Amino acid sequence: MFYTSSEAGLATNGASWVASRFGAITTTLGTLNIGTTITYPQFVVTPDNLLQFVYRTGVSGNGATQLAEYNDGVWTNVGSWASASGTYTSPNGVTSSARNLYIHGFTYRLNRLHVTGTWREQAGGVSCSSGGLTNHDTTYFYSDDKGRTWHNSAGTSVGTSVSSPMNVNTAGIIVDQLDADHGLMNQESQVVDSSGQIHAIISYVPGMSCLYQIAHNLESYVTSSLSGRFTQCVTNYEADRIAHGFAFHLYRSSNGTFTKFEIPFPINAVGRSQIVLDSEDNAYVVLPFVRIVTASKSSGWTDWTLAFDGVAAGLNAFGEVTVDRARVISSGVLSVLYQVTSTGTTPSAVQLIDFGLNG
């Protein structure tokens, strides 16, 4: 990790961004040493305007999710809130003793911090094939004290950063069960609506006999069987996700239950999709290649339609995109950043396209 900070006010005072306006580059967060094996870093601003740094220590399949905080010019350690500990046993009987949590976001709204994510196991045998992914289940928890203590969807206390971080055996944090045989993607996307309820996008290859969990709470599950699906065992996650992958909209209601709805457009890609909500909480999901699908809140987010097709429009976009969620909130504009497809080592342009939302 390499870190630097600017002189005060540089982002807003109109001064030029030149090297002399920044401090020395260090391998620490100010004076806080957070180690040398740092991955998936992101900065987050809290509702009371503190800066937080979310990151993982360790490696894929054996790592801890961590949090640091900047206040009054000093970085301090909040600590690990999701650990690698615990034991996971897959349906085939194989056990794994280490993993990491991949998060779909770290999102504040109405003074509450929301996190959804998926576990990735270290033991490859938990998946039905070595060509699959060891990601399984979707988790949800929230914090009302900026990441110090954590609760599940029912409001039960489930963890404390540093002293008792959550792990794979923490009760009541799984809100969508799925084993490691379906090419479940990690680090997809999430957003929180105007009433403070979480919405996440997850994607995977539905199985032939997979139970489609349409709604559940921490005590019971309501399921219905899907027939005519694709495979119960992903043997090549890249090829199988391209051929058979779908995105699902997973959201929480005020009573703590979660609902999952399959978006009826194939992802046609390995990569991730991005969700945003407009001012009326209508949902827009940017699928790979800048294909935008939308569903209205009034329908219960079931009337999914294709609003823009970047493939048909000839954007020639390469896979995944990035969206500006802050601009959606501030001005009702969805800004999508994408790279034009290229081959080999040939460089290609990075483009920005804006869409005015209806909400």
Instruction: Please work out, in degrees rounded to the nearest 5, the angle formed at the alpha carbon of residue 312 by the alpha carbons of 309 and 318.
Output: 75
Measure the CA–CA gap between 235 and 127, rounded to whole angstroms. 9
Q: What SS3 state is found at 151? A: strand
pLDDT of residue 210: 42
Residues 51 and 292: their CA atoms lie apart, in Å, by 31
pLDDT for res 221: 33
How would you classify the pairing of strands 38-45 and 51-59?
Answer: antiparallel
* Two tokens, residue 307: 């609003």
Please report the beta strands in 7-122, taking only residues with DSSP state E, as ranges in sequence order: 38-45, 51-59, 62-71, 74-82, 88-89, 95-96, 99-103, 107-109, 112-121
| Confidence at residue 358, expressed as pLDDT on a 0 to 100 scale | 74
3-state class (DSSP) for residue 43: strand
Q: Mind listing the pLDDT tens digit of every residue in the chain (359 residues)?
A: 999 999 999 999 999 999 999 999 999 999 999 999 999 999 999 999 999 999 999 999 999 999 999 999 999 999 999 999 999 999 999 999 999 999 999 999 999 999 999 999 999 999 999 999 999 999 999 999 999 999 999 999 999 999 999 999 999 999 999 999 999 999 999 999 999 999 999 999 998 544 444 333 333 333 333 433 678 899 999 999 999 999 999 999 999 999 999 999 999 999 999 999 999 999 999 999 999 999 999 999 999 999 999 999 999 999 899 999 999 989 999 999 999 999 999 999 999 999 999 75
| Strand-by-strand arrangement of the 221-225 sheet | 189-192, 198-204, 246-252, 258-266, 211-216, 221-225
Element (H, E) at 241: helix 237-244
Report the pLDDT value the prediction gives residue 359, as an integer from 0 to 100.
Answer: 58
CA–CA separation, 280 vs 278, rounded Å? 5
User: With DSSP H G I counted as helix, E B as strand and the rest as coil, what are the percentages for the chain, rounded to 5?
Assistant: 5, 45, 50
Q: Beta partners for 275?
A: 285
CA atoms within 13 A of residue 227's CA, in its CB half-sphere: 0
What is the spatial distance between Cα 31 and Cα 34, in angstroms, rounded to a whole number? 10
The answer to whether 185 touches 248, Cβ cutoff 8 Å, is no
Measured from the Cβ of residue 25, the count of other Cβ atoms closer than 10 Å reads: 9
Would you state the pLDDT for residue 208?
57
Q: Compute the distance between CA of residue 139 and CA of residue 311 in angstroms, rounded to an integer.
A: 33
Q: How many residues does the chain have?
A: 359
Rg (CA), the chain: 21
What pairs with residue 139 in β-bridges?
Answer: 117, 174
Tell me the whole-structure pTM to 2 decimals.
Answer: 0.93
